[in-house]
Each structure stands twice: as structure tokens, then as C-alpha cells.
A and B are shown apart, each in its own frame.
Chain A
Amino acid sequence: MNFKPSIGAKLGGALLAAALSTTAFHGAFAQEDTIKIGVLHSLSGTMAISETTLKDAMLMLVEEQNKKGGVLGKKLEAVVVDPASDWPLFAEKARQLISQDKVAAVFGCWTSSSRKSVLPVFEELNSILFYPVQYEGEESSRNIFYTGAAPNQQAIPAVDYLMNTEGVERWVLAGTDYVYPQTTNKILKAYLMSKGVAEEDIMINYTPFGHSDWQTIVTDIKNFGSAGKKTAVVSTINGDANVPFYKELANQGVKAEDIPVVAFSVGEEELAGLDTAPLVGHLAAWNYFQSVESEANAEFIEQWHAFTKNDKRVTNDPMEAAYIGFNAWVKAVEAAGTTDTDAVLDSIIGVSIPNLSGGTSTVMPNHHITKPVLIGEIQADGQFEIVQETPAVVGDEWSDYLPDSKDLIADWRKPMECGNFNVATGKCGGKGS
């Protein structure tokens, strides 16, 4: 190949290299007496839309903690890396954080794929990951703390609400075609059928990532809803695909009073890109809404607005999960007197810290946490009005409604120290890690 380097080619190549190289920028200068923590969130690529906010939230939490004097008398220093929405790169960046930067703990990941990618790294190098996003469950690792909602902390209470308060008898389970919606829908279907819903009253529909043409599916939902029974849509549609979905719902005149949609991936941040006036009444289930009335939340929102220098920035559920994870880690480190992984893993179980919805969250032996479930209806201003709040629920890692996992429990306390203990056979081991 005739490779004559011209200015254009050089320029193009240089620009390309600049764009492709992922930047790791560290704190201004590394001091000996700081404790480093890793922040592993995508700042470029498709997931940047959700994860950048969490990176900012982590930086804010570190800043606030340092104002209070840091941890164990030392300042905290956040090491931010950008895994660029690329799952294998997550593992690489995690390894770099643990081995080169010697961070004490890592806060990060959003998608289940990225978490599955880093899991072996954290187990091999014996470090700690705090994972702040709602997920499908069916996993418990010695080195990972799941501070987002498990299906029983989000999906099942939402379905209960629709069944009891709105009298829904017919269900559309609509999701994006990947692991979280598929597992959640499997659990929900088993749950609904255990509640006496007939199979023909459940419609399951999957769409590709970033699906933008919802005309046919919204029509299908309308047709499915014309069977004379109250119908609702349970949506596990991922991120970006939600905006066109809600626009199509609004345009085709599907009102929340007729066919309500309850979503598990739509929060304040997603609604910020939408005119919500036609969507009033559609629901979301989370463990936190910005509209929660509590002192801790008011203070948190104020800090967030000050930190981002933008009083229109919204807060959301994964931010609260990051907040809980970070504070639990701080408290465990103070209790252990060291940032050593094994000592922190011991001391963190049972740690209780105030959450933003006015209660407390406790880290359980299965590495999940307790928190209340809130059901909110979308309002015209893009916020949610809370229509139901449950008492704190313990995150259930192995679903009781799936035949494969109903006998499994996780307990990382000594002497059991097992992530998948089978209560039927009395042995540690079985499905999953």
C-alpha cells in the first residue's frame, strides 16, 4: 500500500489517536498521606449519558468528606478513569486502579455487562467494588457491594402497587433485549402467575437497544389493552429508547389513566430530555426520588447544585445508591481503623447509615442493603410525586421466584462465607459465582 503521509492523513491520524486514547486524569498531585479511591464510570461512549452524573456525584462526596476531615485523619483522593462504555476496557481499567494506583476501593460500573467484566478482577486482586445501579440480581460476590435495587426492591413492589391500587389484571412486560430486562421479566412473570394471572394476560415484548420507532409496539399495547381488563405496562426499556417510546405514547393518546406505564429505568435525569406534560400519571419505582421530603435530601440537593454550579441539575436514584455505598465504606473503614480489604469486608456488614429518604440503610450479609421502595407518578415539571412508600426492604440477591435460585442464599460472614449457599442441599456452590 502506497502510504504517502500527507498533512491530512497525519492530522486525521493524530485526531483519531487523541479521540481513541482513554484519558486517566488523576488528582492534581498525589500526596503520600492520602487514601485513594477509584471512580470507574464511562465518560465517553453510549453510557456516558448516565454514568457521567455518577462520576460527578462521587467527586462531590469525596469533596464533602474531605471538608469533614477525610477518613482516618487522611484526605481522600479520587482517581477517575474512563472505560469508554467498552466492557473489556472496564476490566483493564479496574486492574489499573487496583494494581497501579493502589486504590482502597472502587465505586463504579452501570451496566451488568460491565460489572460481570470486572468481577473476576476484583476477586483475583481482592479489592472492593461498590455498584450503585438497580440490577437483575442472581449474583453475590465477596468483593462487590450492590447498593442499587435488587428486583424485590423495585419490580415486585411496583407490580403489587398496580395490582392493589389500580386493579390491573393484564400485563405488558416491555423491555430492551438484554440481561436485566430478561431476568426481571422472568421473575415478574413467575410472580404474576403465582398471584393467579393467566398466561394469556401477560404479553412480553423485547426491542433492540436504542429502538426509536415505537409505532407498532404502542399500537400492539393499545390492542392488548382492549380486552376489557385493566391493563398496565411494566417497562424495563433501557435509557435512550425511553424518550421516543414516551413521545409515541403521548402522541397516540395513551393516557396514564387508561394504560399506566411503570418504568424501572426512567428517573429524573431521563425525564429532563422530555416534555412531561402528556405523561403525567405514568409511574416509576425507585428507592429515592428528588422530591423526597427529608432534611438529608434537602442538604444533598443543595450540595449537588453548589457542586455542579447549576441549580437545574436533578438528582436521581443511582446517586443515592452511590451516596449510601460511599458512606457505608467510610464508616466501615473508620470502624476497622484501616483500609485493608479483608478488615473492611468484615467490618462493613451490619453498618447502618442514614439514607436520603429519611430512614437508614444497613449493609446486609449478602452484600445488598435495606431501603424503602417508593412508587412515584410523573408530574408536569419532570419530578415525581410519591404515591406509595414501603418500609425498608432487604435486597434479595437470589430471587425466590426462579426455580434455579429459590434455594440459594448468600452470607459473607464467617464461618459461612458463601455467595450461593443451597439451603436444600446444605452445601455452598451451585449456580452463579
Chain B
Amino acid sequence: MLIRFFSLVFLLLSLAAPSLAQSDPKPLIDALGKADFKQAEALIGQIAATGDPRVVPALEAFAEGDLYVRKSDNLVFIAKPAGAQFTLVDPMTSEEAGQVAKAAVTKIRVNNNLRRVIRSALGGLTLLSPDRAVRLSAADAVLRSPSPENLELVEAALAKETDAEVKTRMEEARAVSLLSSDRSVEEKRAAIETIRNYGGRDAIGILRAAYGSVDASLQPDIDDAVASIEGELALWDMAQNVWYGLSLGSVLLLAAIGLAITFGVMGIINMAHGEMVMLGAYSTFVVQEVIRTNAPGLFDWSLAIALPVAFLVTGAVGLVLERGVIRFLYGRPLETLLATWGVSLILQQAIRSIFGPTNREVGNPSWMSGSFGFGGMTITWNRLWIIAFSLSIFVALLVLLKRSAFGLQMRAVTQNRRMASSMGIRTPWIDAFTFALGSGIAGIAGVALSQIDNVSPNLGQSYIIDSFMVVVFGGVGNLWGTLVGAMSLGILNKFLEPSVGAVLGKILVLVLIILFIQKRPRGLFALKGRAVEA
């Protein structure tokens, strides 16, 4: 390990130009303490040009905002918080240099531009790292911030590289760096070909950026390459739109599926439905707070724990609501509408009084953060999980309704209340539990929606209209209708949005639904038979 490290140092030293080989980076790092943004940028260039791998920790700390200057002697250190104090670490040797009060040091400010410069410099410096992952991200860094200074470093690293994936990435990084260098036209033409094969939006950006600076004879090559990448991307864009549509549809499905029970099956116009979603989101917040203070290690499980909690909390609220208010209002839809709307205002204000009017932070567990590339598409993990989650809730609910005794009784009561009652079913309790089930499912939806939306007292309001829209469009009383309705509204919305904008898109969708309801008043999947007349 040590030998490898030294050979690395020698290699880097021999790579750097002879005039720079001897320069010591320490004074340059110390000079950062007094530099403004412009001077700092120049200094980073000089520090990187020393080629000394010992500067890597200092640059990394600088980008993270952990580099401080000691007021007493203007020396620069990496500072790590230790209680109310800082532990100072020498930027070159990584040796501890004692603890100081926070007031004894000043933070060296860093902005986006410097972070970008540092990233590029670090990319060049870590290309020869023994760690494969570091080399890969170094090649990525060089690829994302083209600079001719990195060209020779990449070529040297390329000659040593054995790993196929890293090698490909380095070849792309080399092509990108080469394009902005002063190499020959022929080499650049080959580089354009390499970038073309790399593909994707980034490649278009790189090629367009180089357009103005390359030889005029190369410009047609760039045009061809950009056109061919755009041709490939056009199909992926379609796929991406479908994916976004499904994702929006799954959010609509989540918001509406509880309402499909309370409004769809029971016929209650429940204006407090959105607030059930909100209560579910707040349950998630409370669960996460408890986990944060008591068992931070469980954080990645917080959503799994929040699911039953949210279901029980909102289910219980739903039960109380049905027993306390709604059961007195069966058969009087207007009064139900007003009463549930009043309840929704009370719930909102209650949450506002307890948790305050501002947004609450619900964290994303690591498995719900970030994205991955799939062909020319970007798929974010949280959306993927939400699609999977909403579909599994849908299936679970379907099974419950069609395969369980409770589901059978529920359907019996909604289809023919008197007959069910004479068969010995306690219809008032079936009503209460059906409403509680619908509310509980809204609560579960709240757990998922807390991951993509604000957790504020107003959370529910933004979903209530959409939920009714989905249930009515899909056909009241039909779970499949809700699924198909949500997905088709989602996809329709996402195909309209790029061409007409989000505002007009939303209006057009509403107009289309109104026209559709004129034609088919009972929605996509109309119930047939005696149940409709009842």
C-alpha cells in the first residue's frame, strides 16, 4: 500500500512540468485564507498544477466548506466541529493541530464557481487512485468540467487503466478534454465520434459548447453528431413522458383510492378526505421525530413503521367522524358536504395549532433518494417506489373487497342494505368500518405523499379536487375505474404539459373531463344493473 502510494507520488511529480515539480503547495493553501473568490480560483489552479496528491484532502475540505483560517497566524486548517470547539487538522499532513474556540478561526468562503473548479482539479488529481470507485468518479468529474489542463493527466491514467468500465469513461473524458485543447483536427474528429457514442443530453451540451472554438471544418461533424443524438433521444423522451405520466397517475391514484371507498362505494361526499391524507403525512413526521431522537439507526425503516401508525391514526379519526357526524346525515348529500368541509377546516386549524403553520421536514430514507439512468431516461427512486406502492395498495384493497368476509359484507350492505340487514349483518358497524378503512387508506397515501410534497396543514387541500376528479372520471363505485382514471389523467397531463405548459395543461384536462362527463355521466366504468337505481 505504502509503496503504491509513493509510486503514485513519483508518477504525479514526474508528470507535472519540471518547473512546477518542486513547488510546495503549502504556501498556496495558506494564501487561500486571504483570497477573494477570483484569487482563490487562480490559487486552486496553481495548487492543482503542483500535482501533489497531498493537496487532495485540503481541496475536498475546501469544497465542503470545512477549510478555516486561524486568526492568530493566518494559517489554513481543516476544521472539524468538536462540541462547541473546532478540532484543527493540518491540511497537508492530516495531523491534528489542537482544538480552538469557534471564534478563533474564520471560515474560508466557497461558492458554486469555486466548487466547480475544485471538482475539476480533484478529478485530474485522483485519476490514478488505487480505488476503482475514486477513479471512476474522477473520470466523471473531468468529463463534466472540460479543461485542456486535464488532457495529459487523463492520457497518462488511460495508459495504466485496466478496468474496462473506467477505461471507457476515461476515453470519453479524454475526448471531452481534447476538444477544448489545441490538438490536431483529426484527433478532434475522433473525439467528436467518441462523444457521439457516449450520447445523452450531456454529450449535446459538450458538443454545442465546443462548437464555437473548433476549426470550421469540424462544425459539420458536430452538427451531424448532435442531430444523431437528438434523434435517439426523441424516442426516449416519449418513454420519459409515459413514465412521468404513470408517476403522476400513481400519485393521483394514492390520493383518490381512499375516496373511491368513502365516496365511490358509500356515496359520502367527504370533503375531509384531503385532511386524512394530511394526518397520515403528519403521522410520518411524528414517527420520524421519535426515531430521530431515540433510534437514529432505524431511520431507513421509518416509512415502514409509519404505515401502520398512519393507518390506525387516520382510521380512528375516520371512525369517530362517521360515528359522530356522518351517520346522522346519510341520504342528505348537501349537509354531508358542508359538515365534512367544516370538519376539514377544524382538522387543518387543529394541526396548525399543534404543529405550527410552517412546513415540517419529513426526511427521505436513503433508498428513496436520488435517481438512476435507464437508457436515455432518468428514473428517480422515490417515484419508482411510489408507483410500486400505489399499485400494491390497489391490489391489497381489491383482494380485501373481493376475497374477505368484511369485503363481502361491505358489498352486500352497499348493494342492498335491507337484505343485508335481514341476513344478520350489523349494517351501522359495516358503514363505520368501511369509512374507517377509506380514511385509513388515505392516511397511508399521506405517508407516501409526505415524500414528494410539503407536510403542512394545507397538504390535503391540494389533493381533494384531483381525488374527486379521478373517482368521478373513472366511474363512481368501481375500483378499476379509479386505477384507469388516475393513470390516464396522469399520462394525458404529462403529454399536454411540455407543449402547452403546466397551467394551460391543467385547464385543458379539466375541460376534457367536463366534456367526457357530458357524454358519459357515469364515468369510464359505469356500474350497471339495479345498484345504479337504488
Q: Mark A residues whose CB is within 8 Å of B.
A: 6-9, 11-13, 15-16, 18-20, 43-44, 46, 48-49, 52-53, 165-167, 177, 205-208, 210-213, 215-217, 219-220, 222-223, 225-229, 240, 243-244, 247-248, 250-253, 256-258, 260, 269-270, 272-275, 278, 281, 283, 377, 379, 385, 387
Pairwise interchain contact A19-B342, C-beta atoms closer than 8 A: yes
Q: Tell yes or no: B444 within 8 A of A by CB.
A: no
Pairwise interchain contact B329-A12, C-beta atoms closer than 8 A: yes
From B114, which residue of chain A is reached at the shortest CB distance?
Answer: A257
Query: Which residues of A sit under 8 angstroms from B247, Cβ to Cβ?
Result: 213, 215
B209–chain A nearest beta-carbon distance, Å: 3
Query: Which residues of B sit under 8 angstroms from A8, Cβ to Cβ?
Result: 324-329, 339
Interface of B is mostly: helix
Q: Tell yes or no: B198 within 8 A of A by CB.
A: no
Q: Which of A16, A44, A256 contacts B352 (CB 8 A)?
A: A44
Given known contacts A49-B359, A226-B205, A377 and B369 CB-to-CB distance under 8 angstroms: no
Given known contacts A206-B501, A215-B247, A49 and B364 CB-to-CB distance under 8 angstroms: no
In the complex, 20 of the A-B residue pairs with CB atoms within 8 angstroms, ordered by the A residue number, are A8-B339, A12-B329, A12-B335, A16-B338, A44-B349, A46-B461, A205-B501, A206-B503, A226-B202, A228-B210, A240-B458, A244-B452, A251-B371, A273-B358, A273-B360, A274-B361, A275-B363, A379-B65, A385-B65, A385-B109
- Give the residue among B109, B452, B454, B494 with the most A Cβ atoms within 10 A: B454
From B241, which residue of chain A is reached at the shortest CB distance?
Answer: A216
Chain B residue total in the interface (Cβ 8 A): 75
From B203, which residue of chain A is reached at the shortest CB distance?
Answer: A226
B245–chain A nearest beta-carbon distance, Å: 9
- Give the residue among A7, A216, A244 with the most B Cβ atoms within 10 A: A216
Query: Which residues of A sit under 8 angstroms from B89, Cβ to Cβ?
Result: none
- Cβ < 8 Å to A, chain B residues 340-355: 341-343, 345-346, 348-349, 352
Query: Which residues of A sit under 8 angstroms from B356, Cβ to Cβ?
Result: 52
Pairwise interchain contact B112-A46, C-beta atoms closer than 8 A: no
- Cβ < 8 Å to A, chain B residues 100-145: 109, 111-113, 115-116, 119, 144
Q: Which of B207, B346, B458 contacts A46 (CB 8 A)?
A: B458
Query: Which residues of B sit under 8 angstroms from A15, Cβ to Cβ?
Result: 339, 342-343, 346
Pairwise interchain contact B453-A251, C-beta atoms closer than 8 A: no
CA gap between A257 and B244 in the complex, in Å: 26
- Cβ < 8 Å to A, chain B residues 257-301: none
CA gap between A369 and B6 in the complex, in Å: 62
**8 closest A-B pairs by CB:** A273-B359, A8-B328, A228-B208, A16-B342, A228-B209, A12-B339, A226-B205, A19-B345
Given known contacts A222-B201, A252-B380, A208 and B325 CB-to-CB distance under 8 angstroms: no
CA gap between A44 and B461 in the complex, in Å: 13
B9–chain A nearest beta-carbon distance, Å: 29
From A17, which residue of chain B is reached at the shortest CB distance?
Answer: B342
Q: Tell yes or no: B240 within 8 A of A by CB.
A: yes
Interface string of B178-210 (1 = CB under 8 A from A): 000000000000000000000001101111111
Query: Which residues of A sit under 8 angstroms from B503, Cβ to Cβ?
Result: 177, 206-208
Q: Which of A20, A165, A272 contacts B37 (CB 8 A)?
A: A165
B358–chain A nearest beta-carbon distance, Å: 6
Given known contacts A226-B204, A226-B205, A257-B115, A206 and B109 CB-to-CB distance under 8 angstroms: no
- Give the residue among A20, A43, A377 with the most B Cβ atoms within 10 A: A377
Q: Which of B241, B342, B364, B502 contacts A275 (CB 8 A)?
A: B364
Given known contacts A166-B113, A252-B378, A11 and B361 CB-to-CB distance under 8 angstroms: no
Q: Which of B109, B205, B497 contacts A216 (CB 8 A)?
A: B497
Query: Which residues of A sit under 8 angstroms from B346, Cβ to Cβ?
Result: 15, 18-19
A242–chain B nearest beta-carbon distance, Å: 9
From B346, which residue of chain A is reached at the shortest CB distance?
Answer: A19
Query: Which residues of B sit under 8 angstroms from A387, Cβ to Cβ?
Result: 37, 109, 111
- Cβ < 8 Å to A, chain B residues 379-409: 380-383
Given known contacts A7-B328, A12-B325, A251-B382, A217 and B502 CB-to-CB distance under 8 angstroms: yes
B200–chain A nearest beta-carbon distance, Å: 9
Query: Which residues of B sit under 8 angstroms from A11, Cβ to Cβ?
Result: 324-325
Pairwise interchain contact A16-B341, C-beta atoms closer than 8 A: yes
CA gap between A48 and B506 in the complex, in Å: 26
Pairwise interchain contact A251-B369, C-beta atoms closer than 8 A: yes
Pairwise interchain contact B360-A9, C-beta atoms closer than 8 A: no
Given known contacts A206-B501, A215-B383, A281-B111, A275 and B208 CB-to-CB distance under 8 angstroms: no
Query: Which residues of B sit under 8 angstroms from A269, Cβ to Cβ?
Result: 358
A377–chain B nearest beta-carbon distance, Å: 6
Pairwise interchain contact B205-A228, C-beta atoms closer than 8 A: yes
Interface string of B495-515 (1 = CB under 8 A from A): 001100111001000000000
Given known contacts A11-B325, A243-B359, A48 and B364 CB-to-CB distance under 8 angstroms: no
Pairwise interchain contact A257-B324, C-beta atoms closer than 8 A: no
CA gap between A16 and B334 in the complex, in Å: 14
Query: Which residues of B sit under 8 angstroms from A257, Cβ to Cβ?
Result: 112, 115-116, 119
Q: Tell yes or no: B357 within 8 A of A by CB.
A: yes
Q: Tell yes or no: B59 within 8 A of A by CB.
A: no
Q: Which of A49, A167, A213 contacts B251 (CB 8 A)?
A: A213
Pairwise interchain contact A52-B357, C-beta atoms closer than 8 A: yes
Pairwise interchain contact A220-B498, C-beta atoms closer than 8 A: yes
Pairwise interchain contact B345-A20, C-beta atoms closer than 8 A: yes
Pairwise interchain contact A208-B112, C-beta atoms closer than 8 A: no
Query: Which residues of A sit under 8 angstroms from B454, Cβ to Cβ?
Result: 212, 240, 243-244, 273
A120–chain B nearest beta-carbon distance, Å: 29
Interface contacts beyond A252-B380, A272-B358: sample of 9 additional A-B pairs, CB < 8 Å, sorted by A: A8-B329, A8-B339, A9-B328, A11-B325, A52-B356, A206-B501, A220-B498, A251-B371, A281-B111
